[in-house]
Amino acid sequence: MLVLGIESSCDETAAAVVEDGTRLRSSIINSQTAIHTSFGGVVPEIASREHLNRIVEVVDLAFTKANIEQEDLDGIAVTTGPGLIGSLLVGVSFAKAFGYALGLPFVGVNHIEGHIYSVAFDNPPVEYPALALIVSGGHTNLFYVPAPGRYKVVSRTRDDAAGEAFDKVAKMLGLGYPGGSLIERLARSGDASAIRFSVAQMSDGRPDFSFSGLKTAVAKYMRAADMRALEPDEEPSQAVKDLAASFQATVIRSLIETTGRMADMHQPRTLIVAGGVACNESLRDAASSLAASRGIPLYLPSRHLSTDNAAMIAAAGSVRLAVGERDGLDLNADVTLRLQNYDVEDENLRGRVHYRL
């Protein structure tokens, strides 16, 4: 089965062709980072217009790289949410029109679920139950996955996502946008134990994440230490490098400690760590150590598939299409889309993919 995936939830226009849900035939990503950098973040109106300008050529290039024709496709999968409404609508509208013109079935895919399926290309099949940490600029959630397509949120962020916290702290330091890779680069030369920031604990006892307080702690530290944002082309001092390393270490400690507690509680057979922040080498190392200490395999996507991409959307959509699921022309974008858990009433259906999107 050949499936075209389309992803346009934020500021990457992406298309991919995936065979049988696990073989990557092509993956094209048109990044808008250079466009939004001067604004210090993604400007929704600019993002949606850039998607309109690029989506046709990105899809065409995906066919060229896959060495197939449009008529070879068996279906289409497209991100329907969560994300920026203008950006999502470009992808959804294109997918519906393309599917209608070619007489192809199409399905909408939850962007977060796509990240869970991003590990399908570089790892053996997932063994269930699994625990999936999805950590990016817009999302920080920990899912218990008892079977394919069944999800239970066991931890979530109460405020900023981890990637968002990276971006905001990078802006405080005058590093630019996007902040994750910039802070990681500085942290390599810094002392992660130089500043001891606290990991947030929820007053209600839930194992949720919170990074807003850490962001405030960084701001307070900078004021107390009389640190200012770097000027353009200014060489970072050792103090700035130590601050970057200490901040990064605290974010990772929060993610790993909570994931470890949930792993002890749910006893998964696979640990998945995915999303844009999964590109971070220190997080990958910490997750590897955690998985090894529990004796469970760690599944990570390649760095190309950690950030937003269409291959993961095609992989998730392939499973739905394979069991005969279809969406109609009334399919629409939904910025508040959630992965929702529910009980399987028919024992014979266990193991199949079920969705409530």
Token reading at 318:
């392939």
pTM: 0.91
Identity of the amino acid at 123: N
C-alpha 13/C-alpha 2 separation (Å) is 20
Cβ contact 142:335 at 8 Å: no
**Residue 223 neighbours by CB distance under 10 Å:** 10
Model confidence pLDDT, tens digit, residues 269-306: 999 999 999 999 999 999 999 999 999 999 999 999 99
C-alpha 304/C-alpha 327 separation (Å) is 29
* pLDDT score for 273: 98
Identity of the amino acid at 239: A
Q: Which residues of 129-145 are buried (b: 16+ CB within 10 A; e: fewer)?
A: bbbbbbbbbbbbbbbbb
Phi, psi of 146 (to 5 degrees): -70, -25
**Residue 283 neighbours by CB distance under 10 Å:** 24
CATH code for the part of the protein at 2-118+305-349: 3.30.420.40
* pLDDT score for 87: 97
User: What is the torsion angle, in degrees rounded to the nearest 10, for the CA atoms of residue 209, residue 317, residue 24 and residue 44?
Assistant: -60
C-alpha 235/C-alpha 189 separation (Å) is 13
pLDDT < 50 stretches in the chain? 342-357
* pLDDT score for 73: 98
Give ∠ CA 250-135-162 in degrees, rounded to 5. Answer: 40
**Quick check: bond before 82 cis, omega within 30?**
yes
Question: Of 329, 259, 322, 264, which is closest to residue 294 (Cα–Cα)?
Answer: 264
Domains 2-118+305-349 and 125-300 share a fold: yes
C-alpha 156/C-alpha 153 separation (Å) is 7
Residue boundaries of the structural domains of the chain: 2-118+305-349, 125-300
* pLDDT score for 342: 39
Chain mean position to CA 271:
15
Cβ contact 335:91 at 8 Å: no
125-300: CATH architecture: 2-Layer Sandwich (3.30)
Kindly state the greatest CA–CA separation across the chain.
Answer: 64
* pLDDT score for 341: 56
* pLDDT score for 233: 87
